[in-house]
A and B are shown apart, each in its own frame.
Chain A
Amino acid sequence: MTTATFEYHRPATKRGTLQLLSELDGEVSILAGGQTLLREVHRDRARPDHVVDISALRDECGTISATSTTLVVGLGVRQQELLNFGPSRHDALLEALRCMGNYNVRCSGTVTGIVANSDPACQLAAVCAAVGATVVIESVRGSRRIAASELFAGVRKLARDELVTEVAFDATTTGEGTAFQQVAQRSVGGPHLAGVATRILVEDGWCTEAAVAVAVRGQYPRALVDVAGLLTGTRLRNADLGAASEALAQELTVGDDLFASAEYKTHGLRVLVNRTAHIAGIRAEGNT
């Protein structure tokens, strides 16, 4: 019988969790909001030897704190809690979160869980790449901070004894605006066809800095440097937005999937680059 089983752990403290993670052998899966793991187990995509349920850490770590520059979201904060908190200067983040799952899923799923799972095509991946977010990763060996986009892009990975304990999202500063938009087949719950996050910095009506990233199936979230470059130094007029979004196809190759053709995805991403740059620009102008 090829029976696999796992041992279930529910540590009560962060310290205890890190200690446990340092001691466990075999495949370890962390269970936070619980919207992913069991589905993966059912589909035989995960065969953990140990499941570490960190829901008890919510009291200790699950806080949200906002300063003028950063929004710090602790381990265990649920996605809907962050939406209800509604931090200002985080437009793209909130817009992306609103597109994820559905209300009920967001009431269980955690923000740090999204980052730890690092699905490269998810909405938050694009936000992290375009707007910027830092992940605090802890283990008994100490803690480190890395750019969240590096986790999503698969450039860096969590070590087996590590836990994502915090995500810090960069707030927009004066003259800065962000936006996230997506196209999906349904109003709620996907399938998500294409998503774009954009950050724009303006000064005296000119775009002085821009960042654009996509969330689309089968594509790592990349900051589109050329597209952003074409926005920079313009006044974000329709022609400028058009030229920048037209350049997307040179910088990005997407494939067909069962919901949309590559051509459509490219087309949709162009539209969304155009729209998010426009909106982020307006927000930047208003952000004084």
Chain B
Amino acid sequence: MERGRDYSDATVRVECTVNGEPWSVDAPVGASLAEQLNNNGVTTNVGCGEGSCGTCLVRVDDRLARSCLTLAVQTEDAEITTVHGLNAGAGSELTDIQRAISAEGGLQCGFCTPAFVLLLQELADSPPRSRAALRERLSSVTCRCTGYSGLVRAAERVLESGHAGDHIRRHEDERFLTGRGSYIGTRNAPDQLWARFVRSPYPHAAITRVQRDDALAMDGVEAVLIADDLPQSARSFASAAAVEADLDARFSECTLARDTVRYVGQPIVAVIARSRLVADEAAEAVQVEYEVREADEPVRTRTLQHVGTTVGTYPGTYVRSGEFYIGRHTAMPMECRGMLAVPKADGLTLHGLTKQVRSNRDRIAALVGLEPDRIEVASVDTGGAFGVKGELYPEDVVVPWAALHLGKAVKWIEERAEHVLAANHSREQSWEVSVVADERGQLQGATAELTVDVGAYHRPLTDLMPKFSSALFPGPYRLPNFVATGHNRYSHKTPTGPYRAPGRFEVNFVRERALDMLAADIGITSTELRLRNLVGLGDLPHEPGTDAEGGLCLRDEDFHTLFAEARAIMDKIPKVSPVRSVRRGVACLPFLDKAGVGVEESASVQLERDGRVIVTVASSSSGQGHETTLAKIAADELGVHPDWVSVHDGSVESGVDGLGTFASRTALMTGNAVAAAAVSLSDKIRSAVASTSGVDVESVRLSGGSVQANTTEVAIPELATSLLEDDMAATATFHFDGHTYPYGAIVLVVDVDVETFVARVGNIDFVCDVGAVLDPTVVRGQIIGGAVQGLGGALMEELPYNAHDEPLVRDLNDYPLPLAADVPEIGVTVVDRPTKSNPLGVRGVGEAATAIMGAAVGCAISDALPEINDEITRLPLTPSALHAAWVRAGSPSLSTTTAERDEHVWMGE
């Protein structure tokens, strides 16, 4: 992450104490403490390298310092403590704070966890005076996964009771809490080279010349690669995108841009050098000459959905038309992308693949000219992905090819400034919608024109977002007629791909806002309108007629019960804010999400001779806790303790296969595959025991860590020594053709300062049905973390471009993410009721909360400010955007009921 000039010719001897050990190391004078620690085996996760995110906090003497902003030479004589120093000595116990974080679900991907451990330690040493002060103190570090809720509870647990919690909740937790997460940043190979990319500074330009001699002449530079250096197979990135044949694009994406660049950040040259600093220097020495071009932004149009007939308007019906806009967002995981490619005798080992590991490996293999099985994928811990990380990117092709070509390991770690330009963006959609209802408020139909700013190139999943958006337009409502037309606009912005709740975050906002406006036209409350159209049990099975990789079909979704529960919560909320200039608004919305993309996923479960169980799957975790949840599934089927079970995202040779981790599909697809494999293994074991002991197989049971047959009982480890090899492993494949539907209702309170237009979200409550709950803490963590991510998109996150398609966001400072102080209390009520659609009965839980947040925030704000209801049409609703909506509405007077002025006019107090 560290970017700087080469100070390597000026090293300084630094003597300090690190975790109690005396250190004496030569540091380049410009090196940061983070670099220095990482270079000497004390892993420190750097999220931004610019002092924004705080993941790199370490204790320096009496305070917590951002180690990316601290010079190593500054720490002369200092006493440095990292998270590794808290548990010195093998086998030492985790601290109370570490156990509390685990017990409360205060960690997911683990990337920011070391920083929060140190932060909570500091809190314990100097406790804050209130919960608000606690949240403010926690706001020194950004977490993108948890929504902070578990961290707040962990801090309170330690501060109030000193009781830490008895056990470590997830298998993953111990290594994350002790700074032993194995992220790509910590992976190194002997004599590895470093890659750095030279990127376009222009939205659209012809490349007229690349001058690389100066860079090549630099000491330590091994290669300076341009498009023509790549083998023919690797030059076209578009081929990897498997673009639909009907795409009439006037351009196709090159892996390294050759003649043209179409967005700021597009890679053109890859510099490979012996050190990261030299690679950075050499990249600066590469001169690319450009001829700037005018914008060329073709639009491709097609029909997305056609349900029923195109509706006309009837006498006495209500027609509400509106235009809506959802801003450009990105996932912004706290860990940037990265890759380490290590050549081996017959191919490559790749570290750093995530999400859709198998298909990316296959595509990379095809591009660099290897058979897929010659690429071995090493599993890594992933510091958050959220749909954006783990898509296939040009860098993922260049780095492996460079390693093959040079015969040496090549490592690439993306900087945050690159990430905001080069990792997929998402969302940016413009809608023109007409919704028609009869005089009783029954929806008759809708039409939608959806324009997606897809960015410069068509990436593999570019079409997914408009497809999902339009397919979910009906939501949980009956909508007999619906036509949606999609327009892809190929602008000069970063290409787009899926980001948590792709398409659904957008469409939920559009639909729910349109319903609010329609309700106002009809003269009924929004709640009444929603109730009149909500799909009821009597409507089931209900096919809305739309298609999202298969037609939707609702079979066992009880919207009305959950919506009623949510309304009961809403009714208890005081509608008046005690603060003079603040109006309170409440949204109560039913929601429907779709999850799970098939088609199949396999898993194997193996019993080891020592009685341990190994589960091998094809999906990699990026913080969701697969090692815990999947272990529990296998443990339940085999009747053993979950601690006996370890989960591996298997090498390709393991024989398990599948698409990976996305679309909230892991519990459904991988979970069911693990369950099936475990059942199959259980059957084998029981049969073996039955035949050796001469009993009926039905009478053999596996439970409590042993096998019971009639009156005899043998412990699994003992049995394992005598079983045949064939009876100790089973592989199963789970097929699923269709979707699952997490659903429920949300209540969201917002306090809007009618003078400053600052909106702060008060309490949020979810009442939802995610099917069977495999692990309550994981489910809760996914809902709350997803909600907070959606909250960011609703209120503050945006990637604006200027009129020339130049990006205005260049680093993390420019893209505010929610911090602990921005996050309200979030209540989660989960109906633990298995759906019949799959054996485990799960519906998927990763995205539903994210998906509804834009709608809930928008509707709550409009509830607070009914005068400008018609103008609340854009996300994010920043103070400036809300002010603009008020101006568009004619700047109506926004009085508040409590007229008395007092000292507490400022909401922040």
Q: Which residues of A contact B (CB under 8 A)?
A: 1-8, 10, 31, 34-35, 38-39, 41-43, 47, 51, 53, 55, 102-105, 107-108, 181, 183, 185-191, 193, 238, 258-261, 263-265, 267-268, 271-272, 275, 278-279, 282
8 Å CB contact of B822 from A186, A258, A261: A186
| Residues A42 and B2 in contact, CB atoms below 8 Å apart | yes
Chain A residues closer than 8 Å to B9, beta-carbon distance: 3, 5
Contact A2-B281, Cβ < 8 Å, known A38-B71, A261-B883, A271-B756: yes
A78 nearest in chain B by CB position: B63
Indicate with 1 or 0, residue by residue over B867-903, a CB within 8 angstroms of chain A CB atoms: 0000000000011100110010000000000000101
A51 nearest in chain B by CB position: B71
| Residues A188 and B136 in contact, CB atoms below 8 Å apart | yes
Q: Which residues of B contact A (CB under 8 A)?
A: 2-7, 9-10, 12, 29-30, 32, 49-51, 54, 57, 63-66, 68-71, 73-74, 76, 119, 135-137, 139-141, 218-219, 281, 284-285, 755-758, 760, 795-796, 800, 808-809, 813-814, 816, 818-819, 821-822, 878-880, 883-884, 887, 901, 903, 905-906, 908
Chain B residues closer than 8 Å to A47, beta-carbon distance: 5
| Residues B29 and A38 in contact, CB atoms below 8 Å apart | no
| Residues A3 and B878 in contact, CB atoms below 8 Å apart | no
Chain A residues closer than 8 Å to B69, beta-carbon distance: 34-35, 38-39
8 Å CB contact of A186 from B65, B808, B821: B821
8 Å CB contact of B29 from A2, A6, A190, A238: A6
| Residues B57 and A42 in contact, CB atoms below 8 Å apart | no
| Residues B808 and A258 in contact, CB atoms below 8 Å apart | yes
| Residues A264 and B821 in contact, CB atoms below 8 Å apart | no
A285 to B842, CA, bound (A): 64
8 Å CB contact of B5 from A5, A186, A191: A5
Q: How far is the CB of B342 from chain A (nearest CB, A)?
A: 28
| Residues B757 and A264 in contact, CB atoms below 8 Å apart | yes
Q: List 11 A-B contacts (CB under 8 A).
A: A2-B5, A5-B30, A38-B70, A41-B4, A42-B3, A51-B71, A102-B139, A185-B795, A188-B821, A271-B756, A278-B905
Interchain pairs with CB closer than 8 A, number: 170
Contact A39-B50, Cβ < 8 Å, known A1-B281, A187-B908, A188-B136: yes
Chain A residues closer than 8 Å to B140, beta-carbon distance: 102-105
| Residues B139 and A34 in contact, CB atoms below 8 Å apart | no
| Residues A258 and B905 in contact, CB atoms below 8 Å apart | no
A118 to B906, CA, bound (A): 27
B123 nearest in chain A by CB position: A103
A270 nearest in chain B by CB position: B755
Q: How far is the CB of A42 from chain B (nearest CB, A)?
A: 5
Chain B residues closer than 8 Å to A191, beta-carbon distance: 813-814, 816
A169 to B284, CA, bound (A): 45
Contact A4-B5, Cβ < 8 Å, known A31-B71, A261-B884: yes
Overall SS of chain B's interface? loop
A263 to B882, CA, bound (A): 12
| Residues B136 and A187 in contact, CB atoms below 8 Å apart | yes
Chain A residues closer than 8 Å to B903, beta-carbon distance: 279, 282
| Residues B136 and A103 in contact, CB atoms below 8 Å apart | yes
A102 to B139, CA, bound (A): 7
| Residues A6 and B796 in contact, CB atoms below 8 Å apart | no
A263 to B66, CA, bound (A): 36
A106 nearest in chain B by CB position: B140
Contact A263-B887, Cβ < 8 Å, known A38-B71, A103-B136, A186-B821: yes
Contact A263-B883, Cβ < 8 Å, known A41-B4, A42-B4: yes
Interface centre among B4, B32, B284, B880 (most CB of A within 10 A): B880
A84 nearest in chain B by CB position: B126
Q: How far is the CB of B897 from chain A (nearest CB, A)?
A: 17
| Residues B884 and A7 in contact, CB atoms below 8 Å apart | no
| Residues B816 and A263 in contact, CB atoms below 8 Å apart | no
A189 to B142, CA, bound (A): 11
| Residues B814 and A258 in contact, CB atoms below 8 Å apart | yes
Q: How far is the CB of B754 from chain A (nearest CB, A)?
A: 10
| Residues B29 and A183 in contact, CB atoms below 8 Å apart | no
Chain A residues closer than 8 Å to B74, beta-carbon distance: 10, 31, 34, 53, 55
Given contacts A53-B74, A259-B880, 15 further A-B contacts (CB under 8 A): A1-B218, A1-B281, A2-B281, A6-B29, A34-B65, A39-B51, A41-B30, A42-B3, A43-B50, A104-B119, A108-B63, A108-B65, A264-B884, A271-B756, A282-B903
Q: How far is the CB of B37 from chain A (nearest CB, A)?
A: 15
Chain A residues closer than 8 Å to B30, beta-carbon distance: 5-6, 41
Chain A residues closer than 8 Å to B757, beta-carbon distance: 264, 267-268
8 Å CB contact of B906 from A3, A5, A267, A275: A275
